[in-house]
Chains A and B, each alone.
Chain A
Amino acid sequence: TQLLKQSPQFLSIQEGENLTVYCNSSSVFSSLQWYRQEPGEGPVLLVTVVTGGEVKKLKRLTFQFGDARKDSSLHITAAQPGDTGLYLCADIDNYGQNFVFGPGTRLSVLP
């Protein structure tokens, strides 16, 4: 059974700071997704990465997929209070059917 680990578990920073959160797997990812969940809402997809070494940017967010496809990082530049939420990584099985989620990193950006 695949285990996803995320670190740190909690992160509280000031507006304008940079941060990086991590996702690691006990086995190779088929593909990896990052979701953000705001309080009282369901998770929303941010990005999907498939190829080892892939880097994707979404405004102030930069996603990296490890060369061996067993780890990923999410870097946020100049964090804003609107970035507050739970960041979840997820693996999709080889058929694109089942999704397994990590425990998440709970980010709080203080104004």
Chain B
Amino acid sequence: DAGVIQSPRHEVTEMGQEVTLRCKPISGHDYLFWYRQTMMRGLELLIYFNNNVPIDDSGMPEDRFSAKMPNASFSTLKIQPSEPRDSAVYFCASSLAGGVATGELFFGEGSRLTVL
């Protein structure tokens, strides 16, 4: 079975440009998460969805960041305008609803973003 698929794997852009990261979760999973990972701050939750509905976006840094999930098989994370401090690896993850003993996050391979 295919895992979580993210694109692009790498993106280099200039400050001020719009960046769109894409994610296809595992089929049948009803939770989707966007995380950002940096050496300084570790793995930070940005936003998560349940059944395509945003549940908690308190981790979204500022209005320059937006995320959508138009259907169960696709999500985007957009940064507009991008800044050098947005440089990080962005991970998408999905999970199947379950209790505390059965929840498991399945991560994609990440999108490495460099903003010059």
Q: List chain A positions with a Cβ less than 8 A from chain B.
A: 30-31, 33, 35, 40-45, 48, 50, 88, 90, 92-104
- Kindly identify, within residues 9 to 48 of chain B, every residue whose CB is under 8 Å from any CB belonging to chain A: 31, 33, 35, 42-43, 45, 48
Q: How far is the CA of A104 from the CA of B104 in the complex (A)?
A: 18
The answer to whether B107 and A101 touch across the interface, beta carbons within 8 angstroms, is: no
Residues of B within 8 A of A103 (CB): 42
Interface centre among B45, B55, B100 (most CB of A within 10 A): B100
Question: What distance in Å separates the Cβ of B103 from its nearest Cβ neighbour in chain A?
Answer: 4
Measured CB to CB, the closest approach of chain A to B26, in angstroms, equals 12
**Which residues B25-83 have CB closer than 8 A to chain A?**
31, 33, 35, 42-43, 45, 48, 50, 55-56
Set B4, B48, B102, B109: member contacting A96, Cβ < 8 A: B102
Bound-state CA distance A37–B101 (Å) is 21
In B92-116, which residues have CB < 8 Å from any A CB?
Answer: 93, 97-105, 107-110
Q: Which of A41, A50, A90, A100 contacts B101 (CB 8 A)?
A: A50
**A42-B108, A103-B42, A104-B42 known; A96+B56 contact, CB < 8 A:** no
Q: Complex Cα distance A33/B100, Å?
A: 10
Query: B42 and A48: CB pair below 8 A?
Result: no
Is there an interface contact between B99 and A96, defined as CB atoms closer than 8 Å? yes
Contacts of A98 in B (CB 8 A): 45, 48, 56
Cα-based distance from A30 to B91 in the complex (angstroms):
24
